[in-house]
Structure 1
Amino acid sequence: MAKYDKADIERRMKGAVESLKGDLSGLRTGRANTSLLDPVVVEVYGAMMPLNQVATVSAPEPRMLSVQVWDKSNLTAVEKGIAKANLGLNPMIDGQTLRLPLPDLTQERRKELAKLAGEYGEKAKIAIRNVRRDGMEALKDDEKKKDISEDDRKRSEDDVQKLTDTHVAETDTVVAAKVKEILSQ
Structure 2
Amino acid sequence: TVEAYGSEMPINQVATLGAPEPRMLTVQVWDRSNVKAVERAIRESALGLNPASDGQLIRVPIPELSEERRTELARVAHRYAEQARVAVRNVRRDGMDKLKRMERAGDLSQDEQHLWSEEVQELTDRFVKEIDSAVEVKESEIMQV
TM-score by length of 1: 0.64
The answer to whether the Cα contact below 8 Å between 2:28 and 2:57 also exists between their aligned partners in 1 is yes
In structure 1, distance between residues paired with 2:30 and 2:107: 57
Alignment partner, residue 176 of structure 1: 136
Q: CA deviation at 1:58?
A: 2.1
1:52 to 1:109, Cα distance in 2 relative to 1, 3 A? same
CA shift for structure 1 position 56: 3.2
1:153 matched to 2:131? The reply is: no
**Aligned-partner residue type, residue 147 of structure 1:** D
Distance in 1 between residues matched to 2:14 and 2:38, nearest whole Å? 10
2:84 match: secondary structure: helix
What is the CA distance between 1:164 and its match in structure 2? 1.0
3-state DSSP of counterpart to 2:74: helix
1:133 to 90, 93, 107: 93
Q: Structure 1 CA distance, aligned partners of 2:3 and 2:116?
A: 47
Q: Structure 2 vs 1, CA of residues 64 and 133 (structure 1 numbering), >3 Å: closer, same or farther?
A: same
Tell me the C-alpha RMSD between the 2 structures.
2.6
* Kept in 2: contact 1:139–1:157 (CA 8 A): yes
Give, in whole Å, the separation in 1 of the partners of 2:50 and 2:102.
Answer: 56
CA shift for structure 1 position 175: 0.8
The correspondence for 2:26, drawn from 62, 66, 73, is: 66
Q: Is the 8 A contact 1:124 1:171 kept in 2?
A: yes
Residue 179 to residue 155, structure 1, CA distance change in 2 (3 Å): same
Give the fraction of aligned pairs with identical amino acids, expressed as a percent: 51
Aligned length: 144
- In structure 1, the partner of 2:48 is 88
2:39 and 2:53 in contact (8 A); partners too = no
The match for 2:59 is 99
Looking at both structures, which has the greater relative contact order when contacts are Cα pairs under 8 Å and sequence separation is at least 6? 1
Q: Aligned pair in 2 of structure 1 residues 143, 82: CA closer, same or farther (>3 Å)?
A: farther
Unaligned 5+ runs, structure 2? none
Q: Distance in 2 between matches of 1:124 and 1:146?
A: 33
Q: CA deviation at 1:170?
A: 0.9
Choose from 143, 153, 163 the match for 2:123.
Answer: 163
Question: Within 2, Cα distance between the matches of 1:121 and 1:48?
Answer: 31
SS in 2 for 1:130: helix
> In structure 2, do the counterparts of structure 1 residues 155 and 80 end up closer, same or farther at CA, with 3 Å as the change threshold?
same
Aligned equivalent of 2:70: 110
